[in-house]
Structure 1
Amino acid sequence: MDKRFDNYINQIVSGLKCSKEEKNDIKEEIKDHLTLLKTEYLEEGYSENVAIQKALYSFGDGNHIQEGLQHSLFPYYRLIKISKWILFGLYSIVLLWNLLLMRMLDRIFNYKYFNTYFWYPENTHSFFDLKVWKLNSNIIPFHNVYEYITGTNRFNVDIIIHNTLGNILIFIPLGFFLPILFNKYNSLSKVFIVSLLLTCIIELLQFFLQLGQFDIDDIILNTIGGIAGYLIIKLLMRAPLYTKRKASQKQVI
């Protein structure tokens, strides 16, 4: 196909907010229409170069077509896009509030009292003391999870749920939002990496700001939550309603 057709189609499709598969379908539809127009002009006696130019002119302005396609594919795209960013912002605030900000405020207003988030052994007051680091960190995978599960007689149920299931649930929205808002995070491996890096950063901040203990189990459970959120959104995209919308897009052009 002529490069002018390729450039024209790419100009239209590249700006559409839809999946890669949907873009490929739309490209094929536009290509078929342009080829048909070109053939008609060739049959009328025009040269190939003129036929291509007239086909592009007849098809219309690329920007206007892109706007029409986006509206047809998703009539309330702008409203939904804004809503998704608002929800993501609210989730980010809730996440940071629960894991960092609330603890910071608690320590600011209760600095004279015992720090319930970070412990110091007796006769030890230096943060850089090895005993302090050992007491406030766990680098053995699932060690604390095992302690919670087998220690129901030593821990309240709400503490067990908060430190196990809660650590998974709080990161599920992250895996849900990443592929929706950012095209480059539309794969399991990338969501895994982002979830892992983010929870590592939070754990390290909690530890060095003395707002919590460094726990490898938290990192594992948070990352599982991010992966679970990604798998949930992928399953939703395979739901009948989504599949029906995708199938109907071939009739848009």
Structure 2
Amino acid sequence: MQSERIIGLRRLIKLCCWILYILYLFVLFKYLVLDRLHFYGGNRSYNLIPFDSISQYLNNKEKYNNNIWFMNLVGNLIMLMPFGVLLPMLYSELRKLRIFIVLLLGINLSIEIGQYMMGLGSFDVDDVILNASGALAVYLFIWTVLYKTLLRIEAQKPTKQINHNNIQTRGGNR
């Protein structure tokens, strides 16, 4: 009976994760494509120097309005964070750190290359660094906390006591 509840709860959690994942993808598409259609008129700039944009925003904060500064630093840091939770919940093979990192970098580079190719923004290696850092931080935090919590729960489960007096063998009672 309890295992049926656990299975039902797992299915419900997975369904909720799928719903959140699909909603998140729609929001991401709206932000990365639809909202930018009227802003960027074929802008095809790029930055391949790691930490160049980040240091420009941090060292020259007064030159940028707060919205630009915030979106380029904090926005890029949080943009892919949901992947750190949702992808491993939906695909068990993504609970392996190496596989998660490879997929995360693939998604991240696809976004940056897509922005550049469609003229919807620039390719900036610092965006890749910030996006990946945010998603990876969430991944490590969630899975470390979740893993430790699961281990603690497993350790607290009462073990069944075997009553050797009531065990029946093929030949009859002991």
Match status 1:80 vs 2:13: yes
Q: 1:205 aligns with which of 93, 110, 114?
A: 114
Match status 1:246 vs 2:154: yes
What is the alpha-carbon root mean square deviation over aligned residues?
2.3
Structure 1 residue runs of 5 or longer lacking an equivalent are 1-67, 107-114, 120-132
Contact 2:80 2:131 in 1 (8 A): yes
- TM normalised by structure 2 equals 0.80
Give the share of equivalent positions with the same residue, in percent. Answer: 31
Report the counterpart of residue 139 of structure 1 in structure 2: 48
- TM normalised by structure 1 equals 0.57
What letter is aligned with 1:246? E
Distance 1:117 1:146, change over 3 A: farther
Partners of 1:170 and 1:70 lie apart in 2 by 37
Q: 1:237 aligns with which of 139, 146, 150?
A: 146
Distance 1:197 1:117, change over 3 A: farther
Contact 1:117 1:212 in 2 (8 A): no
Higher alpha-carbon Rg: 1
Equivalenced residue count is 159
What letter is aligned with 1:157? N
Instruction: Deviation per CA, 1:73-128: give whole Å up to 9, x if none.
Output: 44422222211110111111111211123223x3xxxxxxxx54644xxxxxxxxx
Contact 2:84 2:138 in 1 (8 A): yes
Q: 2:33 aligns with which of 71, 76, 100?
A: 100
| Residues 1-253 of structure 1 aligned to structure 2 (within 5 Å) | 70-104=3-37, 106=38, 115-116=39-40, 118-119=42-43, 136-238=45-147, 240=149, 242-247=150-155, 248=157
Instruction: Deviation per CA, 1:53-83: give whole Å up to 9, x if none.
Output: xxxxxxxxxxxxxxx6752544422222211
Partners of 1:118 and 1:148 lie apart in 2 by 23
How far residue 217 of structure 1 moved from its aligned partner, in angstroms, is 0.6
What letter is aligned with 1:196? L
* 4+ aligned runs moved over 4 Å, structure 1: none
Partners of 2:121 and 2:36 lie apart in 1 by 8
Per chain length, whose mean CA-contact separation is higher, i.e. which structure has more relative contact order (CA < 8 Å, sep 6+)? 2
Partners of 1:90 and 1:218 lie apart in 2 by 22
How far residue 250 of structure 1 moved from its aligned partner, in angstroms, is 6.3
Structure 2 residue runs of 5 or longer lacking an equivalent are 161-174
Distance 1:246 1:152, change over 3 A: same
Distance 1:207 1:183, change over 3 A: same
